[in-house]
Structure 1
Amino acid sequence: MNKPVFTSLLLAASIIAQAQPSNVIWNPVGGGVNGPVISVLKGGGDTLVVIGEFTEAGGVQANNVALWDGTAFHALGNGVSGNITSGAIVGQNIYIGGSSLNTNYTDVAKWDGTAWSYSTAFDGNYPQIATMFVHNDTLYAGGIVSGFLGSDDRVKRLDNGGWELVGSTLNNIINTLGWHNGQIVVGGEFTALQNGGGTNLNHVAILNGGEWGPLAAGLPSKVNALLDVDGTLYAAGDILNGGNAQFGLARFPENATAWEDLMPGATSYVNTGSGVDASIFALDHDGSNLFIGGDFDLGSGSLTGSYVARFDGVPDAFIPYATFNASVSALAHNTTLGLVAGGFFTQNGATAVDHLGHADISTSFGSANGSFPLFELFPNPATDRLSISLMHDAAIYATVELLTLDGRVLAGPIQLSAGKATLDVSKLADGPYLVRITGMNGLRAVPFMKQ
């Protein structure tokens, strides 16, 4: 049997990709709201609960909270006043967290379907909730207990109508809560327990035997959001701070021993958003894709965008998903609206999208994946040449194309020879691209980085 011959396939050396804005179409949800959105909660069916700083939702008077029933907005009583930070849905009840809710001494508001009631989770002179999280119908809150001697950063759990402490006090601010490997996880600006116990809590910790313990070596800077997807925990934080690179996005698979940095090359494709920093504030998963939202611009490569992006599975592979004019605070999704974003923005490109928009992610650009063919790319990232090799029968007919992330074909289709090819990518602008292989039974697109 003759040994397959490696054939070099040079793709149009003169091709230089010009950056294009994201072509994802965003529309306002029900006409949008007239002030910033802080949180978007997914209810049953097509319902959403929108929380923020607004007085109208879709033209309906609503005091900082509104219910979207899939067709129209509805006010929930007289709404909630105060400094709102977060929310959660537990069964048929809607909870809102913050400070000075209704009075100066409450940090929890609860809607039972008929009326609002107010209570306190964190004792002290100025109780504050920073974040809420629900798992298995149990409500958790991260917040601050304050008094004359200072403040304590703690996590509590609602149990039989009362709030009980979870773990010990941490030494700095709590920003987010999540779940991993059967335990509650906390993220924020802390580095240890307040009493000095514990090691390597660096910004993220997991409950272990009733006490906060390290999750590997932690993360190098503050954590803003946590999300577990099928056993893999994702953590998001600052991408750039004062122009200096931070971790941005990292993941921790089940039974892992270290965090994986998912934005190691961020300085080559991320610009600051509305200020001097670039940050991720929100994470969401639709069952197939992970989305990030925050205050950032993706400014290099074949596609540009701002404030929302899709993570494509490998480090530094992010597809811009919006061209908003201000930051995103919240992401959610449902079957009818697709991806939903809330925040400070009022425009996506030339389209008015007042603080709350949606995009049909099922018809937006991206990589199409069928059962065929599996192939390898090497090296990735690539500088001059990118080698492609099918991982099974090299004799089958297949073609290769080079695409921008929004699906525009830069070169090809050209037939592979002996299941292999080499692409000349030396003239491409730095940034993410797609290689698509098409065969008789389907197609598959895989991202790669040009650097």
Structure 2
Amino acid sequence: MTSSGAADLGGLRQRPPSLPAGVPAQRAAAAAGGAWAREHGAPVLGPDPLAAAVAGDQVWVGGGFTYGVAAMASGTYQRVAHWDGTGWRRMGEGVDGTVHALAVHGGDVWAGGEFTVADGRVQALRLARWDGAAWHAVAGGVSDPERTYGTRVAALACDGRTLVVGGVFTRAGDVPAASLAALDLATGTWSDLGGGVASSWSSEPSEVRALALHGRTVWVGGRFDLAGGAGGVPCGGLAAVDLDTGAWTPAPGGGLTDDGTTGGVTALALDPATGALHVGGSFTRAGDVGAWNLAVLRDGRWSSLGDVSSYGGTSASVEALAVSGGRLFLGGGFTAVGGAAVEHLAQWDGAAWSGVGEGLDNVVRALAPVEGGGVVVLGDFGVSGTLRLEHGAVWTGTGWRTFGQGVLSDPYGGGTVSAVVPVGDGAYVGGLFDQAGHLPAGSVARWDGTGWDTMAGGVGAAISHGQVFAMLELDGDLYVAGRFDTAGGRVVRNIARWDGAAWHPLGDGLSDAAHALAAVGGKLYVGGTFALAGRVAAGHLACWDPAAQEWSAVGGAPTYDHDIRALEVVGDRWLVVGGTFQRFFAQGTTVVEGLWGLCLFDTAHEPSEDLLRGYHLLEGVSRYGAPGWVHALRVVGGDLYVGGWFDVAGIMALGERPSAGFPASNLAVWHFAGDGTWEGVGGGTDRQVQALAAVDGALVAAGWFATAGATGAARVARYDPGTRSWEPLGDGLGDGARGGSWALAVAHHPATGVWVGGEFPEAGGAPSANLARWGGPGPEGVSP
């Protein structure tokens, strides 16, 4: 069922003059080809990360996590995850127990820990290999037939020829092995590597906690005092073994001691430039040198780099060490190193200790060097100063870089993107958030294709955060509207202009929130809930003239009874106004009733004292018999598409031809350039539409819906006017750990694709924190 018409509120003409006619709708492409980009995941790691391995820009992470990674649903990442330099990838079904160690060489990643099954089906006793696509058992793994507790792999090292495995076990495959074994990768055979390690004080298996390769020699650290098995060479928690001969060399001076007893080693890091071995653990002496929990072995001699302490005592823990860029990085649970007050993460530059960034608020569990002098840092922490780094990040050497470049307002990926303006290789992004990737932000920021610009701090509010609802680029400047009091620290009221370097107010601003922007004839039209624009009575709709730097009313400035939520321009003249309104008021008196959420204003109209001169009626929408909500308006070809929350469209209560309308599920179209009729759009959507975009002659709709027409489409879909058919954009948006998702903004750029903003943790199955991009050049979609 269709309907037609519009009416001048003054003369009650059914159709306004001078609307563009005969504009053909461009035929849309046959397929919405593309994939979801993956760079904008939430910068959040799951709790209990314990191990990291790095190769180039690739990072593999292991631990005890099964939820919380990038705000994805529980079980998405099962104790292991792969960061490919842009986004997270699943490693199949992961493993069924905690991962304590990772090693990478070539295209293979080895994981060790407490698990017995990998990928949900592969028997892998505490050791498994990931080849990039699937998990494999590793030569029978490691075990202890006599014990049902404590068996684990705690350390791994690989040089491409040999995989060295340390932990707590008595067998490697079918070979007896005392907590240490070596696997020949060419033959797949195990050796006990010089008889392993043992403790004189216990018949239980000893523990190997750390390994460091230096050529074909491997340093072995842990809690033991015999190298070479029960009858081996005395040592104090540290010894070196030759991978080819199995010969042991104990650490000099009796190794490490703790108040007269054997000390324990928890971390090792070898400096490849000098050969110096840095040792961390629980001890008070290294050989004959006093050293609390940290020491360095260089050219066969021990020395101290300063004591690692916790509130003045020796109970501090050293959990991780790494050498990168000529610096030693130290992670654990401590409050001071070498007299310098640093908590949980510190760096040694060869002369002095210092903190890293603004420090971390909890224990660091793992470190791994990265190219350029930085380190991957994992642990129990949540913040560095005011910056959220939930359980993991990369210290680049000069600053923090998060895993994921999404926008968020809490540690778990919450936040809102309500407006997106694509520009260049990236986009301006506005909404409600206080962090963009690794940078504090004020609800608006620019993504340049590789990183974030926080635009001089963005917008703020006296109470809580400022919020951006709409953005528009005009004459090279960005106009931002919403609910905020400052921009870049400068006082503004709910609207501001960004010139690329600084923020500027628009006169005295707006008295309340603004929700919609449109540009006609070089002027900016603003809709919202405000009564005043500057000092001009506006009644929810106003015009800003950038040339004159002044506000003016629209027409005779009738007051809308409810919100204006959408604005669109037809033919560079006609301003379509949409929202939740039903009436025009003037001085408290109803002037017009029966607007049904839509009307039309002629911007070429000369100023007049006539309150309604220049306004025209449009057929509107309703929901359950009451006025419907119009959230979005978009012109595609010669058609105006209307999106929102309604079940009937085409209602005309006034004018020459009143109409009861026709069923329409949240979408309708006005063929203004054709015969002027209205109709539904491809069966509509099952829930409300929040945003619309024109994409190569097609329409992209975004909102709360799960289906468009009869097509499953998770929150975003593409409509082809030529075939009148819907197509999903891949798997759309997902709920992740949040349990709910919705899109609030959509925009298109021919070079970068379709940008979608809202409240969601994933797009196409990959982490995407409230911002996602479909199609165009860039990273491929997530793998299964």
Q: TM-score range by the shorter chain?
A: 0.5 to 0.7
Question: Are residue 288 (structure 1) and residue 326 (structure 2) matched?
Answer: yes
1:36 correspondence with 2:48: yes
Separation in 1, partners of 2:284, 2:78: 35
Trace 1:227-266 onto structure 2 (pairs within 5 A): 227-229=269-271, 230=273, 231-238=275-282, 247-253=292-298, 256-263=299-306, 266=307
Aligned to 2:133: 114
Task: Give the aligned partner of residue 124 of structure 1.
Answer: 144
Aligned-partner Cα distance in 2 for 1:197–1:299? 35
Aligned residue in 2 for 1:433:
none
Render the CA deviation track for 1:159-185: whole Å, top value 9, x for unaligned. Answer: 122322111131132111112464111
Query: What is the rounded CA distance, in whole Å, between the counterparts of 1:90 and 1:257 in structure 2?
Result: 29
Query: Could you tell me whether the CA contact under 8 Å between 1:84 and 1:98 is conserved in 2?
Result: yes
Q: Residues of 2 paired with 1:146 and 1:240: CA distance?
A: 30
* Deviation at residue 342 of structure 1 after TM alignment: 0.2
Alignment of 1:321-340 (within 5 A): 321=356, 322-335=358-371, 338-340=374-376
How far apart, in 2, do the equivalents of 1:335 and 1:105 lie? 32
Q: Partners of 1:204 and 1:162 in 2: how far apart?
A: 26
Question: How far apart, in 2, do the equivalents of 1:344 and 1:188 lie?
Answer: 22
Give the equivalent residue in structure 2 for 1:175: 209
Decide whether aligned partners of structure 1 residues 309 and 137 sit closer, same or farther in structure 2, where only a CA change above 3 A counts. farther
Q: Distance in 2 between matches of 1:307 and 1:112?
A: 34
Deviation at 1:239, TM superposition (A): 6.4
4+ aligned runs moved over 6 Å, structure 1:
none
Describe the superposition over 1:412-439 as per-residue Cα deviations: whole angstroms up to 9, x where unpaired: xxxxxxxxxxxxxxxxxxxxxxxxxxxx
- Pair 1:271-2:296 in alignment: no
Aligned residue type for 2:137 = Y
1:359 to 395, 398, 402: 395
Change in 2 beyond 3 A, CA 1:143/1:338: closer
Q: Partner residue of 2:178?
A: 153
Q: 1:318: which partner in 2?
A: 353
CA drift at 1:279: 1.5
Could you tell me which residue of structure 1 aligns to residue 343 of structure 2? 306
Q: Which amino acid aligns with 2:325?
A: G
Unmatched segments (≥5 aa) in structure 1: 1-27, 365-451
Q: Does 1:142 align with 2:166?
A: yes
- Deviation of residue 85 (structure 1)? 1.3
Contact 1:90–1:137, Cα closer than 8 Å, also in 2:
no
Structure 1 vs Structure 2 CA RMSD: 3.1
Taking a change above 3 Å as real, the CA distance of residues 358 and 197 of structure 1, as seen in their structure-2 partners, is closer
TM-score when scaled to structure 1?
Answer: 0.64
CA distance in 1 between counterparts of 2:364 and 2:92 reads 27
**Alignment check: 8 A CA contact 1:101 1:109 kept:** no
Q: Does the Cα contact within 8 Å between 1:87 and 1:96 map onto a contact in 2?
A: yes
Deviations 1:14-53 (A, max 9, x none): xxxxxxxxxxxxxx9951212121111102x311111122
**How far did residue 136 of structure 1 move?**
4.3
State the alpha-carbon separation in 2 of the partners of residues 336 and 259 from structure 1. Answer: 29
Q: Distance in 2 between matches of 1:214 and 1:240?
A: 18
SS of 2:268's equivalent in the other structure is: strand
Counterpart selection for 1:92 from 107, 116, 119: 107
Amino acid at match of 1:286: S
Q: What is the identity, as a one-letter code, of the residue corresponding to 1:53?
A: G
Amino acid of the structure 2 residue aligned with 1:292 = L
Q: Which residue of 2 aligns with 1:192?
A: 226
State whether residues 37 and 50 of structure 1, in contact with CA within 8 Å, keep that contact through their aligned partners in structure 2: yes
CA distance in 1, matches of 2:124, 2:109: 20
Q: Match for 2:128: what amino acid?
A: A
C-alpha separation in 2, matches of 1:71 and 1:305:
31
Count of matched residue positions in the alignment of Structure 1 and Structure 2:
319
* Distance across 1 between alignment mates of 2:321 and 2:179: 23
In structure 1, distance between residues paired with 2:68 and 2:60:
14
Letter aligned with residue 380 of structure 2: F
Cα distance, 1:93 vs structure 2: 1.1
Q: How does 1:36-75 map to 2 (within 5 A)?
A: 36-43=48-55, 45-54=56-65, 55-60=67-72, 61-75=76-90
Structure 1 residues 168 and 299: CA distance shift in structure 2, 3 A:
closer
Shift of 1:114: 1.4
Contact kept, 8 Å, 2:359 with 2:384, in 1: the verdict is yes
Q: Distance in 2 between matches of 1:52 and 1:343?
A: 10
Contact 1:52 1:65 (8 Å CA) reproduced: yes
Report if the CA contact (8 A) 1:337-1:360 is conserved: yes
Q: Matches of 1:32 and 1:158 in 2, distance apart?
A: 35
Letter in 2 for 1:232: A
Report the AA paired with residue 239 of structure 2.
A
Describe the shift of the 1:157–1:304 C-alpha distance in structure 2 as closer, same or farther (beyond 3 A): same
Residue 384 of structure 2 is aligned to residue 348 of structure 1: yes
Aligned partner of 2:264 in structure 1 is 222
Change (3 A) 1:139 1:197: closer
Instruction: Report if the CA contact (8 A) 1:83-1:101 is conserved.
Output: no
In structure 1, what is the Cα distance between the partners aligned to 2:360 and 2:318?
15
Distance 1:78 1:136 in 2: 26
CA offsets 1:318-369 (integer angstroms, 9 cap, x no match): 11225322111111243479432101112223322110022331369xxxxx
**Any unmatched runs of 5+ in structure 2?**
1-39, 199-205, 258-262, 401-784
Amino acid at match of 2:181: K
Matched AA of 1:176: A
2: distance between equivalents of 1:257 and 1:238? 21
8 A contact 1:285–1:291 mirrored in 2:
yes
Q: Is the 8 A contact 2:284 2:293 kept in 1?
A: yes
Secondary structure of the corresponding residue to residue 205 of structure 1: strand
Name the TM-score, length of structure 2 as normaliser.
Answer: 0.38
Distance 2:100 2:297 in 1: 27
